[in-house]
A = this chain, B = another copy of it.
Amino acid sequence: MSTLSLFLDVPQAQKLEGSLLKTYKQDDSPNKMFLAYRVCMTSGGQPWVSSVVRKTRLQIAQDPSLNYEYTPVTGMRSFIQACVELLFGKHSRAIAENRVGGVHTVGDSGAFHLGAQFLKTWRQNSQIVYIVSSKKEHHGLIFQDMGFTVHEHCFWDSKQLCMDPNVLLNVVKQAPRGCVFVIGNIGNCKLTKCQWPKLIAIMKKKQIFPFFDISYQGLSTGDPEEDTRFLEYFVSGGFEFFCSQSLSRNFGIYDEGVGVLVVVALNNQILLCVLSQLMNCALALWLNPPTSGARIVTSILCNPALQEAWKQSLKEIVENIMLTKEKVKEKLRLLGTPGSWDHITNQSGSHSYLGLDYSQVEYLVKKKHIYIPKNSRINFTCINACNIDYITESINEAVLFTKASENCLQKFLE
């Protein structure tokens, strides 16, 4: 009996990620390098893992008292508690008032998926989402697939070569009442003391629902408390909001995909209702969240000595990033590369814009085998003592080459 496939109509899906990495892997050049890894790298070119993590992982594996039974759908309670305290500080008023809680989520998308599903059901009058971040975010697709109308905006001003807080302010001004604002990496986009109250006031007046993306707390300034201090504006402003808190990057446990969907409500009663609905969504999404990563994070955060060591490791990696950026800038200055390169050191975090235009990026990829994304946002932890000269010289070449062709074109036109 010959059979026809039930899936004859299913086409190959468009690849959503990884094409740059794929091209890099297929490149035979001995000089090739990839500067767009999502994870922080050590100077030896290996994914960074906080030094306390390895030790903690071993201790957990050796602990005979642990049982590995199913966790509740909401996840490990101690983990959620520790994460929420990391986010808002142990003495946060909202925590004391029992109006902060969370659901243990999975992977880097889990919290967005769960939150989006909740908002889809319970905020039916406002299915418009603005995603404002320092880069193009994956989670736009999550909201889009669920039927939200999605508008995406980027803080990065590629002409002025800086993060522009006015992007956020302007988008908020235009946005309709009651919509959702998914805000990523707001710390990188330094709002002034005057801009904050203005932002808060408009968002409040328009009943905008904030949904913060906290995916590398501590990796921006090196101080986890500093990185999420802005949340206090929203807590004290009487906002209700969600945070997608991911602990993968700041602990270097990328493959554990461990996170929390954090909920801040006006009071405990409302919090419990929201959490109960989220729990039912989580039941259908994964039933029980995996705990390995959560155990590591909890062990570290609940032990003052380990927590201190973890914070120290964050500080070191951020100092290294700043040092690398300084060196890149200095080397470009010494090479006499046209332009100011202050925008490199003005940005915080591992991933920052080089501020190159498309033809310069293409020059680096095609001629120099240095693989960087079209927007020239690279991972500075991929730059180390072995490759910094080649990289800066190549950037210099790319800039000179494209300036030269511009000049040619200019002369030709004159």
Interface positions of A (Cβ within 8 A of B): 1, 3, 5-18, 38-39, 46-47, 49, 54, 57-58, 60-62, 67-73, 106-110, 113, 122-123, 138, 141-142, 145, 204, 207, 209, 238, 240, 248, 252-258, 265-267, 270, 272-274, 276-277, 279-280, 283-293
- CB pair B272 A106 closer than 8 Å: no
| Least CB distance, A99 to chain B, in whole angstroms | 10
Chain B residue numbers with a CB within 8 Å of A258 are: 290
| Least CB distance, A241 to chain B, in whole angstroms | 9
Chain B residue numbers with a CB within 8 Å of A69 are: 39, 47, 254-255
- CB pair B39 A70 closer than 8 Å: yes
| Least CB distance, A136 to chain B, in whole angstroms | 14
> With A and B bound together, what is the CA distance between A12 and B267 in angstroms?
14
| 5 nearest A-B residue pairs (beta carbon) | A107-B286, A292-B292, A61-B61, A13-B276, A109-B287
> With A and B bound together, what is the CA distance between A16 and B39 in angstroms?
38
Q: Apart from A7-B240, A10-B277, A68-B255, what are 6 other A-B pairs with CB-CB below 8 Å? A: A6-B207, A12-B272, A15-B276, A39-B70, A107-B286, A109-B287
Q: Which residue of B5, B142, B207, B276 contacts A265 across the interface (Cβ within 8 Å)?
A: B5
> With A and B bound together, what is the CA distance between A1 and B220 in angstroms?
33
- CB pair A13 B68 closer than 8 Å: no
| Least CB distance, A248 to chain B, in whole angstroms | 8
> With A and B bound together, what is the CA distance between A279 and B270 in angstroms?
36
- CB pair B138 A287 closer than 8 Å: yes
Chain B residue numbers with a CB within 8 Å of A108 are: 286-288
Given contacts A13-B279, A265-B7, A113 and B273 within 8 Å (CB-CB): no
Given contacts A10-B273, A47-B67, A284 and B254 within 8 Å (CB-CB): no
Nearest chain B residue, comparing its CB with the CB of A204: B1
- CB pair B280 A107 closer than 8 Å: no
Q: Which residue of B16, B145, B292 contacts A256 across the interface (Cβ within 8 Å)?
A: B292
Chain B residue numbers with a CB within 8 Å of A279 are: 13
> With A and B bound together, what is the CA distance between A107 and B103 in angstroms?
14
Q: Which residue of B122, B288, B292 contacts A107 across the interface (Cβ within 8 Å)?
A: B288
| Least CB distance, A2 to chain B, in whole angstroms | 9
Number of copies: 2
Q: Which residue of B47, B209, B290 contacts A6 across the interface (Cβ within 8 Å)?
A: B209
Nearest chain B residue, comparing its CB with the CB of A68: B255
Q: Which residue of B1, B71, B113, B240 contacts A255 across the interface (Cβ within 8 Å)?
A: B71
Given contacts A108-B287, A257-B290, A287-B109, A252 and B68 within 8 Å (CB-CB): yes
Nearest chain B residue, comparing its CB with the CB of A116: B284
- CB pair A284 B106 closer than 8 Å: no
Chain B residue numbers with a CB within 8 Å of A266 are: 3, 5
| Least CB distance, A217 to chain B, in whole angstroms | 18
Chain B residue numbers with a CB within 8 Å of A8 are: 270
| Least CB distance, A370 to chain B, in whole angstroms | 20
> With A and B bound together, what is the CA distance between A290 and B248 in angstroms?
10
- CB pair B283 A16 closer than 8 Å: yes
Chain B residue numbers with a CB within 8 Å of A61 are: 54, 57-58, 60-62
Q: Can you list 16 contacts pairing A with B, beta carbon distance less than 8 Å? A: A5-B240, A5-B265, A5-B266, A9-B122, A16-B280, A16-B283, A39-B69, A49-B67, A57-B61, A107-B285, A109-B284, A113-B286, A257-B286, A257-B289, A258-B290, A292-B293
